[in-house]
């Protein structure tokens, strides 16, 4: 099978109606979608992605009306949804019975978000049912931020990829657990920052454990310590400009190692140097990160050196993905 890449929401709906998962654009990353109520199509998502069955899926809803159908929505959850949706915030709550065990990996809770991307919303509307969607990549591969990335990773096993252009945020949604109302907990850093949530809630919030083992369903089962890693050895450092081109740093500066800067360095770039944001904008760093890492990984360098973002805000989400991707973390 070779996937068709197209721009037709109708075509995506046609495939979903015959039981085929389709790749759809969201504002975070591309998702691989199936209707909430079609267990067979959802099962196919797990097998096409080679995803362990203990890693539950996010349910994508249009808004509050379908939110209350899938989860026990507390006043706090409603307030968060009203403020941050549609957008890249996923809320974890006790599930309702319409959500099958295959979606939640047998847990009594469900993760729900309302995507912003218009094409994705159009497909939910036309299907008349929420869609479950993990990122449209094979297990432990990088989350795709363009239709072409989806095609490279999964084009051989999919029927249809709906092309909505590059994703605005480029990092997966923030996950906030409200399972214990007294202790809202960030399970995954993302585009909605912990600081934004704390300002809205008027209190500090916890951060859940990020290093979990690949065994039982756990607090946030998808948060494996190793998430995505390039094939090329990746070194994470605190600031590339601390490394100066002298013999003691020849491993960083050899012709065959790539260097990825957050912002333009105060020097001419060489053929093996890359910049994530020419406008010194961390949001742009986030949106380019996965695409640039993937591109540089294919260029067959012997190593890749990348620098950490300043802590706080979206920097936390960037550093979270970088520390999971890095083989060697020299920034600690």
∠ Cα 201 204 209 (to 5°): 115
Q: Is 135 in the site for Mg ion (CB under 5 A)?
A: yes
My answer on whether omega of the bond before 177 falls inside 30° of 0, hence cis, is no
* Bridge partners (DSSP) listed for residue 224: 212
Q: Is 134 in the site for ligand TXA (CB under 6 A)?
A: yes
Q: Which does 86 bind (CB under 5 to 8 A by kind): ligand TXA, Mg ion, none?
A: none
Strand ordering across the sheet containing 160-162: 4-6, 160-162, 22-24, 31-35, 131-132, 58-60, 109-113, 89-94, 174-177, 185-188, 206-207
Contact string 34-73 vs ligand TXA (x = CB under 6 A) = ---------------------xxxx---------------
CA separation for the pair 332, 287 (Å, rounded): 24
Within a 13 Å sphere around the CA of 85, how many CA atoms are in the beta-carbon half?
21
Contact string 7-36 vs ligand TXA (x = CB under 6 A) = -------------------x-xx-x-----
Binding piece for ligand TXA, criterion CB under 6 A, among 40-48, 105-113, 192-200, 263-271: 105-113
CA separation for the pair 295, 33 (Å, rounded): 25
Q: How far is the CB of 303 from ligand TXA (least distance, A)?
A: 27
CB nearer to ligand TXA: pick between 149 and 188? 188
Alpha-helical runs (H) found in 34-167: 39-49, 64-70, 75-84, 101-104, 118-127, 147-154
Q: Is 107 in the site for ligand TXA (CB under 6 A)?
A: yes
Q: Tokens 């083992």, residue?
A: 213
Residue number, nearest CB to ligand TXA: 222
**Positions 204 through 243 that interact with ligand TXA (CB under 6 A):** 220-223
Footprint on this chain of ligand TXA (rule: CB under 6 A): 26, 28-29, 31, 55-58, 88, 90, 92, 104, 107, 109-111, 133-135, 172-173, 175, 187-188, 220-223
Footprint on this chain of Mg ion (rule: CB under 5 A): 135
């Amino acid at each position: 099978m070779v996937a068709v890449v197209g721009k037709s929401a109708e075509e995506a709906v046609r495939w979903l109606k015959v039981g085929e998962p389709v790749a759809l654009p969201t504002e975070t990353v591309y998702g691989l979608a199936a209707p909430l109520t079609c267990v067979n199509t959802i099962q196919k998502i797990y097998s096409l992605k080679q995803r362990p069955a203990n890693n539950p899926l996010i349910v994508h809803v249009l808004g509050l009306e379908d939110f209350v159908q899938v989860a026990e929505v507390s006043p706090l959850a409603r307030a968060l949804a009203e403020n941050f949706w549609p957008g890249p915030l996923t809320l974890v709550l006790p599930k309702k019975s319409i959500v099958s065990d295959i979606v939640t990996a047998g847990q009594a809770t469900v993760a729900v978000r309302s995507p912003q991307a218009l094409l994705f919303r159009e497909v939910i509307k036309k299907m008349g049912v929420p869609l479950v969607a993990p990122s449209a990549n094979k297990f432990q591969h990088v989350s795709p931020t363009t239709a072409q990335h989806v095609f490279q990773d999964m084009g051989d096993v999919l029927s249809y990829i709906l092309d909505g252009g590059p994703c605005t945020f480029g990092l997966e949604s923030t996950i906030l657990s409200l399972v214990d109302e007294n202790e809202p907990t960030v399970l995954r850093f993302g585009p909605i920052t912990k600081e934004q949530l704390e300002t809205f809630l008027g209190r500090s919030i916890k951060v859940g454990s990020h290093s979990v083992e690949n065994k039982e369903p756990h607090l946030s089962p998808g948060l494996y310590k190793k998430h995505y890693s390039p094939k090329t050895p990746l070194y994470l450092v605190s600031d590339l400009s601390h490394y100066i081109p002298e013999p003691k740093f020849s491993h960083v500066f050899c012709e065959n190692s790539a260097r990825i800067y957050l912002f333009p360095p105060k020097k001419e770039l060489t053929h093996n140097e890359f910049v994530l944001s020419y406008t010194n904008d961390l949001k742009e760093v986030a949106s380019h990160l996965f695409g640039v890492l993937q591109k540089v990984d294919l260029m067959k360098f012997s190593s890749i050196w990348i620098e950490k973002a300043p802590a706080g805000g979206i920097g936390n989400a960037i550093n979270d993905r970088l520390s999971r991707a890095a083989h060697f973390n020299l920034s600690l």
